[in-house]
Structure 1
């Protein structure tokens, strides 16, 4: 794990474009999420993180800063890099960077089978399960 680096990147940079490619592989190809849902206007303004493991970009997430909270999303790790704690490490840095901007309220919608990951980070599920992009999700927050 010592070779893992997580960096904030502009989405139009070379690393940002690799982040979009990871999202394409994980969500559009791997989970059949329509591209019209996966890509949206928030990409232009969001904080994007990439995880680089031994020189390869293997993970990404974004944080959108809204008036009511910082919304985490598009958390994706390539299949061959899963199980190493990469998503958790990206979330920790994203939360740290959000706090540095003065944000203390965090929100996300998690695929229902991924809620345990976010619970370990202090998120609590609320409301009923709902469908998003053809998969069951739960709304989660830290406040």
Structure 2
């Protein structure tokens, strides 16, 4: 296996810019999300994470700090790296990092065809399916209600 590094990176950094490039590649180019909806003001206050393999950012996500917990969003893995576990390693790192920082409640709006992936990490789908950028989604959470 090639060497990997997972980091939380500042929004105004070269690594964050590489993460934004990867997000455009996945969401805008592959999935047809409008470019003006992919980058947003939440990027300025989010925690950004990257997985670097062989010197390249191959997976990324961000976490928004919300009253109800951390909202995971913009989870993207380079097409050539899918199915090789990098997304799972990034997600496990982010969940452990948030728990260590006192944020054990994590939720997201997940693309419906990715629900099985997130369930492997303790997420549970809830609510009805809805469209976001013309892609089917469901809400998911990673905690047990009190």
Partner of 1:119: 119
**What corresponds to 2:10 in structure 1?**
10
d(CA) in 2 for partners of 1:34, 1:122:
30
Inter-partner Cα distance in structure 2 for 1:71 and 1:88 = 17
Q: How many residue pairs are counted as aligned between the two chains?
A: 143
Q: CA RMSD in A?
A: 1.0
Detail structure 1 runs of 4+ shifted over 4 Å in the superposition: none
Corresponding residue number in structure 2 for 1:104: 104
Are 2:50 and 1:50 aligned?
yes
TM-score where L is the length of structure 1: 0.96
Cα deviation for residue 36 of structure 1 reads: 2.2
Deviation of 1:35 after TM superposition, in Å, equals: 1.8
Equivalent in the alignment of 1:130: 130
Query: Structure 1: any 5+ residue segments left out of the alignment?
Result: none
Cα deviation, 1:13-64, whole Å, max 9, x if unaligned, reads 0011000000010001111101222111110111111111111111110111
Q: What's the CA shift string for 1:90-128, capped at 9, x where partnerless?
A: 111111121122111110111110001100000000011
Residue of structure 1 in register with 2:75 after alignment: 75
Q: Which runs of 5+ in 2 are unaligned?
A: none
Superposed, which structure 2 residues align to 1:55-66 within 5 Å? 55-66=55-66
Q: Measure the CA separation in 2 of the matches of 1:10 and 1:103.
A: 19
